[in-house]
Amino acid sequence: MTVIAKGSGAGASSFLRLETACGYLIRRTQQVHNVLWAEEFDGRLTSPQYAVLAALAAEPGIDQRRLGELASLDKSSIADVVSRLASRLWIVRERDSHDGRRNVLQLTSAAELAFHQLTPPAQRVQDRLLAPLDEQEAVAFTAGLATIARAHPAPTLPPGRTSPVLELSAPGHLIRRAQQQHTAIWADLLDRELTGPQCAVLYVVAEEPGVSQKRLGERAALDKSTAADLVQRLVRRGWLTRERMPEDARGRMLTLTPEGLSVVERTATAVRDVQAQLLSPLDEPARAAFVEMLSRVAFASTATSD
For the stretch 216-230, pLDDT in tens is: 999 999 989 999 999
Range of lowest pLDDT (35-49, 233-247, 290-304):
290-304
Provide the 8-state DSSP code for 268: H
* Mean pLDDT to the nearest integer, 231-247: 90
Q: For residue 85, what are the contacts with CB-CB under 8 A and spacing of at least 6?
A: 49, 52, 53, 91, 111
Rounded CA separation 135/140 (Å) = 9
Residue 290 has what pLDDT? 97
Percent of the chain with pLDDT over 70: 85
Cα 208 to the center of its chain, rounded Å: 25
Residue 81 has pLDDT above 90, yes or no: yes
Q: How sure is the predictor about 4, in pLDDT bands with cuts at 50, 70 and 90? A: very low
Measured N-to-C along each axis, helices 284-298 and 258-279 cross at an angle, to the nearest 10 degrees, of: 120
Which domains, and CATH codes, for the chain? 1-43+135-306 (1.10.10.10)
pTM (2 d.p.) = 0.84
Rounded CA separation 20/18 (Å) = 5
Residue 167 has what pLDDT? 56
Range of lowest pLDDT (24-28, 99-103, 208-212):
99-103
Range of lowest pLDDT (54-68, 72-86, 175-189, 291-305):
291-305
* Mean pLDDT to the nearest integer, 208-223: 92
* Mean pLDDT to the nearest integer, 171-191: 92
